[in-house]
Structure 1
Amino acid sequence: MVPQVTLQAPLKLPPHAVTDHLKQLWEHPGEGYNGSATFTLVVWEPAWLEQHLARLGLLQDAVMGMQRPCLVDAARRAIGAYGLPSATAPLSSTLAQTLATQSGENGRYDDLRGQAIDNSISELQPHRMITLAPTIAADQPLDALVAAYCSLPEDNSPGGSVCGDVLVLRGGAASIATELDLLPQWIPTQLPCWVLWEGALGEHTDIFERLAAAQRRLIVDTALGETEPSLRILAQRIAASQAVSDLNWYRLGSWRESLARAFDAQDRRAALNHVVQVDIDVEGDQLCQGLLLAAWIASRLQWSLQTGRRQQDSSVYRFQRPDGFMVDLRLVSVPVGFPKPHAGSILGLRLLCRPPDGKELCAVLCGEASGCMRLEGGDISSRDLVEEIVPLMEGSLEVQETRVLAGGHDTTNPLLATTAQLADQMLAATAASET
Structure 2
Amino acid sequence: MNAQSNSVVSLQAPKDVSVSQVEAELSKIWQSYGENSAARATTFNLLVYEPATVGAASRMASVDAIASQSPCRVIDLVTLDEEDQGISAQVAAYCPIQKTRSSLICGEYITLSGAKRAFERVHSILPDLLIPDLPVFLWWKDSPAPNTRMFEKMVNLSDRLIVDSATFSDSEADLLKIQSMIQSSTQIADLNWQRLAPWQELTAQAFDQPDRRSAVWEIDGITIDYEKGNCTQALMFLGWIASRLDWLPIERNVEGGDYDIQHIMFEGRDGIKVRAELAAIPVGDAGEVIGDLIGLRLTASNQNSDACNVFCSESTGCMRMEAGGVAQNYRVHQVSPLSDQSADTLLGQQLQRWGREVLYEESLLKASRILAL
Q: Is TM > 0.5 for Structure 1 vs Structure 2? A: yes
The equivalent of 1:362 in structure 2 is: 308
Moved more, 126-135 or 335-344: 335-344
Partner amino acid, structure 2, of 1:135: L
Shift of 1:200: 2.4
**Counterpart Cα distance in 2 of 1:333 and 1:319:** 20
Q: Judge conservation of contact 1:274–1:353 (CA < 8 Å) in 2.
A: yes
The equivalent of 1:197 in structure 2 is: 140
Partner amino acid, structure 1, of 2:265: R
**Counterpart Cα distance in 1 of 2:15 and 2:64:** 22
Q: Judge conservation of contact 2:311–2:332 (CA < 8 Å) in 1.
A: yes
Shift of 1:23: 6.0
Shift of 1:10: 2.9
Q: Mark the CA change 1:174 to 1:374 in structure 2 (over 3 Å): closer, same or farther.
A: same
Equivalent of 2:291 in 336, 344, 361: 344
Q: Judge conservation of contact 1:238–1:412 (CA < 8 Å) in 2.
A: no
Q: Judge conservation of contact 2:263–2:275 (CA < 8 Å) in 1.
A: yes
Shift of 1:344: 1.8
**CA offsets per residue over residues 352-395 of structure 1, 9 Å max, x none?**
02459x647421111123221212234638x7311111112211
Q: Mark the CA change 1:22 to 1:177 in structure 2 (over 3 Å): closer, same or farther.
A: farther
Moved more, 194-203 or 271-280: 194-203
The equivalent of 1:57 in structure 2 is: none
Equivalent of 1:218 in 115, 140, 161: 161
Within 5 Å, which residues of 2 pair with 1:148-167?
A: 148-150=93-95, 161-167=104-110
Shift of 1:298: 0.5
Give SS of 1:209's match. helix
Q: Mark the CA change 1:123 to 1:320 in structure 2 (over 3 Å): closer, same or farther.
A: same
The equivalent of 1:11 in structure 2 is: 15
The equivalent of 1:95 in structure 2 is: none
- Asked whether 1:64 is paired with 2:73, we answer no
Q: Mark the CA change 1:25 to 1:338 in structure 2 (over 3 Å): closer, same or farther.
A: closer
Partner amino acid, structure 2, of 1:295: G
Within 5 Å, which residues of 2 pair with 1:171-186?
A: 171-186=114-129
Shift of 1:29: 10
* Number of positions where the alignment pairs a residue of Structure 1 with one of Structure 2: 363
So what's the TM-score if we normalise by structure 2?
0.87
The equivalent of 1:83 in structure 2 is: none
Give SS of 1:373's match. coil
Equivalent of 1:188 in 127, 131, 142: 131
Q: Mark the CA change 1:422 to 1:170 in structure 2 (over 3 Å): closer, same or farther.
A: same
Q: Judge conservation of contact 1:39–1:191 (CA < 8 Å) in 2.
A: yes
Shift of 1:423: 0.9
The equivalent of 2:68 in structure 1 is: 123
Q: Judge conservation of contact 2:251–2:266 (CA < 8 Å) in 1.
A: yes
Q: Give the aligned CA root-mean-square deviation in angstroms.
A: 2.8
Partner amino acid, structure 2, of 1:16: S
Q: Judge conservation of contact 1:38–1:127 (CA < 8 Å) in 2.
A: yes
Partner amino acid, structure 2, of 1:262: A
**CA offsets per residue over residues 206-258 of structure 1, 9 Å max, x none?**
32222122742111011112112320122122222332110110111111112
Shift of 1:25: 5.7
Give SS of 1:418's match. helix
Give SS of 1:341's match. coil
Equivalent of 2:347 in 401, 405, 411: 401
Structure 2 gap segments, 5+ residues each: none
Partner amino acid, structure 2, of 1:421: L
Q: Mark the CA change 1:376 to 1:170 in structure 2 (over 3 Å): closer, same or farther.
A: same
The equivalent of 1:276 in structure 2 is: 220
Q: Mark the CA change 1:12 to 1:285 in structure 2 (over 3 Å): closer, same or farther.
A: closer
Q: Judge conservation of contact 1:19–1:185 (CA < 8 Å) in 2.
A: no
**Counterpart Cα distance in 2 of 1:172 and 1:348:** 42
**Counterpart Cα distance in 2 of 1:377 and 1:305:** 27
Q: Mark the CA change 1:23 to 1:30 in structure 2 (over 3 Å): closer, same or farther.
A: closer
Shift of 1:271: 1.1
Q: Mark the CA change 1:322 to 1:15 in structure 2 (over 3 Å): closer, same or farther.
A: same
Shift of 1:418: 0.2
Partner amino acid, structure 2, of 1:306: I
The equivalent of 1:41 in structure 2 is: 46
Shift of 1:11: 2.5
The equivalent of 2:152 in structure 1 is: 209
**Counterpart Cα distance in 2 of 1:6 and 1:142:** 23
The equivalent of 2:334 in structure 1 is: 389
**Counterpart Cα distance in 2 of 1:4 and 1:375:** 44
Shift of 1:329: 0.9
Give SS of 2:276's match. strand
Shift of 1:122: 1.5
Give SS of 2:271's match. coil
Give SS of 1:223's match. helix
- Asked whether 1:250 is paired with 2:194, we answer yes
**Counterpart Cα distance in 2 of 1:371 and 1:156:** 46
**Counterpart Cα distance in 1 of 2:69 and 2:135:** 13
Q: Judge conservation of contact 1:223–1:344 (CA < 8 Å) in 2.
A: yes
Q: Mark the CA change 1:215 to 1:166 in structure 2 (over 3 Å): closer, same or farther.
A: closer
Partner amino acid, structure 2, of 1:384: N
Shift of 1:203: 8.8
Give SS of 1:37's match. coil
**Counterpart Cα distance in 1 of 2:162 and 2:325:** 44
Q: Judge conservation of contact 2:8–2:68 (CA < 8 Å) in 1.
A: no
**Counterpart Cα distance in 2 of 1:118 and 1:327:** 46
Within 5 Å, which residues of 2 pair with 1:368-387?
A: 368-378=314-324, 380=326, 384-387=329-332
The equivalent of 1:144 in structure 2 is: 89
The equivalent of 2:239 in structure 1 is: 295
Partner amino acid, structure 2, of 1:64: A
Shift of 1:124: 2.5
Shift of 1:426: 1.1
Within 5 Å, which residues of 2 pair with 1:79-90?
A: none
